[in-house]
Structure 1
Amino acid sequence: MDYDAALAYLDDHASYDKTGRIDEPSTDAIAQLCSAMGDPQSVQPVIHVTGTNGKGSTVQMISRLLIAQGLTVGTYTSPHLERINERIKRNGEPISDEEFGEQIAGVADMEVITGVRPTYFEAVTAAAFRWFADVAVDVAVIEVGMLGRWDATNIVDAQVAVVTNIALDHTEFAGPSLADIASEKAGIIKPGSAVVIGETDPDLVSIFTDEGGASSLVRGHDFETVDNSLAIGGRALDLRTPTTIYSDVFLPLHGAHQGDNAAVALTAVETFFAAPLAEDVVHEGFANVEMPGRFEVLGVQPLTIIDGAHNPPGADVCAEVFFGDFHPEGRRILVVGTLREPGDMLAALRADEFDVVHACTAPSPRGVAGADVAAAARAIGCDEVYVHDDVETACRAAMQHADGDDAILAAGSIYVAGDARPALRKYAN
């Protein structure tokens, strides 16, 4: 199966994407597929990461720290920004088109043998497990797709289970309370798992500590970010873990929240090794972190930024970084599209504080029509609002009317960030 055929196979399974058998949530299907493949998810130790926001960044930090320690690391994340290969990496390098086709072909063969029709996400997840086994990674760092307990990734038995934070999201599948969300995410904790908890609400923390892991470490008590300062190109951090204080750590990501993610990631890796890390390993690992699409600066004249925040808590953090750390002096221009109720997202993004809003339809079957996004923007007080059919057109219009002192932010969904990235890079400098 070549790459195009693999994509066609996944498209043919896309109607099952995201929730699959939602009436009876279960990991049975992917477990059967992987069992027929010899349970590749059990070949190497696993660090499993869940949480409402910050999962992707934390996974990348963990992976880079492990690579700096000299391990061969498999990393599985979702969704992708531009190409699906980005989801499956070995030592930071995406799986090749040829290898991706081979792995999806293996999953397709198992569908015929087992009679189990996987969802899009289950098929890609099984392919990742299979490839990690084939290339013999030393450790796999796995990001939960959604929630945790019934997520396709949750057939792993994690040595370290990581929780970044809890906020209201995916309430159509779990909720309505934060405790309900936390309970679903706690499902990744297995009896032998050491648990690293980034959430600090005592009522939510207890849900994770009571789940039955082998041990628990909690942010604010066992580890923390001691200093979290703005630096050129990122953050300057002092991080305290259960064993050590690491000083003057540079992280090339924007936003104070990334400092909190760094403390979680470093504690997770220390927990995995059951030992502190050498300072040079810590500095090298964090210095090599890249996070495309997460408050990524593409150009400076005008300041051009994309961010894939997909829910109001993430959008609120995005706005805080944009207006706080960058405080642009010229006009502030927002390119925005979303997959959810636009009023909440626009309020969280502080759209009414932008001088111009270019509303567009996010490139997804669930994308809210640009006209509806524009109407929501006007309803919260935005004056200069334009409507576009797609992200590229909105980005082009924003760049054409931006001066060197202006700032453009494209946000509202990872799908918007993914389409905006190549569109804005045509003009960014």
Structure 2
Amino acid sequence: MNRLFAINLHGGMKLGLKNMETLNAMLGTPTQHFKCIHVAGTNGKGSVVYKIAKSLEKEGLRVGLYTSPHISSFRERIQINGQLIDESSVVAGLSRIFEEIDKSKIPATFFEITTALALKYFADQKVDYVVLETGLGGRLDATNIVTPVLSIITSISLEHTEYLGSTLEAIAKEKGGIIKPYVPIFIGPRVPLKVIQEIAQEKNSPLEQIQGSFQGFNEENNAIAQKALEYLKISSSSICAGLAKRPPCRLELVRDNPPVILDVGHNPDGLIHLFKALKNKYPQQELRIVLGLSKNKDIESCLDILKKYGSAFHLVEAANGRGLEVEKLAEKAKQHHLENIFIHKNISQGIQLALEAALQEKQVLVICGTFFIMAEARACLGIQEPRDAQDFNERILNNS
């Protein structure tokens, strides 16, 4: 883990499949040993892979789930039927991978190594299915060495434009890179159809877009996951059980008095859906917001949205170097005319003060933004779960 962490700190990011194809071959082509469902999208993909995995698990199948980034423990990324990969398997798997990397001088990145670890572990554990979430984009993402039984694109909005393109169509084309010849592709209602249609026709891949107007993200994610599960001929009872599940930090209620919600909405589209859902759930209560954002986000648009919903703002900063400095965030917040702004250098201190104020004012406390404030937030709130002594999340870029 120390070596992986060093690569994380200094190795940078690289889009492309050459390293992964080499690693996959050297590890005995683990991608050939399970059925795979491959999911991309700007928002919703983490929830959709989770719901699909839980439905398949309910059906009595052995299901690997690969997601990123993690919240409190690196091991969250690699799960089988809800059980995190154990520490000894992480150590053994990384040792084997680093042996191959050293032997063949492969300049693998943190995400490539982690993806290879997951694929090899799932193959060794003889899973029936792997539900695989892309990291960034799709076409050149490290996960895109699989040939799945089904591909899904959940939604498209403007994010990571410096890597994926500056228009919805350009981003859709990058994410459409996960489409494989003759493999069915399901897309959400907010994915540009024409771009994906062209790719699907070129690959002879059956395409279906989920139709409808949905009240919020959860309903939309449920419709996408349900369509995929019905295609896989999963029983309706297993589908219902899986759709009822949500991953941590997605509109997650962790306390009742005052109500405390955790959500990793960190871009304009995610925040709009988050606050619409909250206003529907708590129409009469004010929202007090604890917020931390990453440097590479559309900060201006996020603040415009937050201004419409929050009555007070406690600004915090992720400690891993990815977060926007709290002073800069406060300066921008003032420029956007947010009121009742509190600046906290310490996340736990900020949450404690926000909790006290929300209780006194009978408000709902919403802790939102980057994944990278959530581990400390959950610890502060007394949530018991596996937690790493140091932050192993990507230091350069991912979907956070």
Matches of residues 300-311 of structure 1 in structure 2 within 5 Å? Answer: 300-311=256-267
Q: Which residue of 2 aligns with 1:39?
A: 29
Query: In structure 2, which of residues 229, 238, 246 is the aligned counterpart of residue 290 of structure 1?
Result: 246
Instruction: State the one-letter code of the partner of 1:121.
Output: F
| Offset, 1:400 | 2.8
1:219 equivalent in alignment to 2:197: no
Number of residue equivalences: 380
Matches of residues 2-401 of structure 1 in structure 2 within 5 Å? Answer: 6=1, 8-15=2-9, 19-20=13-14, 25-200=15-190, 201-220=192-211, 256-271=216-231, 273=232, 275=233, 277-287=234-244, 289-329=245-285, 331-339=286-294, 340-348=297-305, 350-401=306-357
| Offset, 1:282 | 2.2
Secondary structure, aligned partner of 1:86: helix
Secondary structure, aligned partner of 2:293: coil
Aligned equivalents of 1:202, 1:167: Cα separation in 2:
13
Secondary structure, aligned partner of 2:208: strand
Runs of 5+ consecutive residues of structure 2 not aligned to the other structure: 384-400
Asked if 2 retains the 8 angstrom alpha-carbon contact of 1:352 and 1:381, the reply is no
1:408 equivalent in alignment to 2:365: yes
Secondary structure, aligned partner of 2:290: strand
Secondary structure, aligned partner of 1:172: helix
| Offset, 1:16 | 5.9
Instruction: State the one-letter code of the partner of 2:101.
Output: E
Aligned equivalents of 1:334, 1:78: Cα separation in 2:
24
Aligned equivalents of 1:157, 1:176: Cα separation in 2:
28
- Per mean C-alpha deviation after superposition, the further-off stretch among 335-344 and 182-191 is 335-344
Shift of the 42–213 alpha-carbon distance from structure 1 to 2, 3 Å rule, reads farther
Aligned equivalents of 1:297, 1:207: Cα separation in 2:
41
| Offset, 1:208 | 4.7
Asked if 1 retains the 8 angstrom alpha-carbon contact of 2:216 and 2:276, the reply is no
| Offset, 1:211 | 4.7
Instruction: State the one-letter code of the partner of 1:262.
Output: N
What's the C-alpha RMSD, in Å, of the aligned pairs?
2.0
Q: Which residue of 2 aligns with 1:251?
A: none
Aligned equivalents of 2:154, 2:354: Cα separation in 1:
34
Aligned equivalents of 1:213, 1:136: Cα separation in 2:
30
Shift of the 17–342 alpha-carbon distance from structure 1 to 2, 3 Å rule, reads farther
Aligned equivalents of 2:31, 2:341: Cα separation in 1:
49
Determine which structure has greater relative contact order: mean sequence separation of CA pairs < 8 Å that are 6+ residues apart, divided by chain length: 2
| Offset, 1:134 | 0.7
| Offset, 1:392 | 1.8
Asked if 2 retains the 8 angstrom alpha-carbon contact of 1:149 and 1:186, the reply is yes
Aligned equivalents of 2:9, 2:204: Cα separation in 1:
35
Identity of aligned residues (%): 28
- Per mean C-alpha deviation after superposition, the further-off stretch among 172-181 and 106-115 is 106-115
| Offset, 1:328 | 4.8
Shift of the 82–207 alpha-carbon distance from structure 1 to 2, 3 Å rule, reads farther
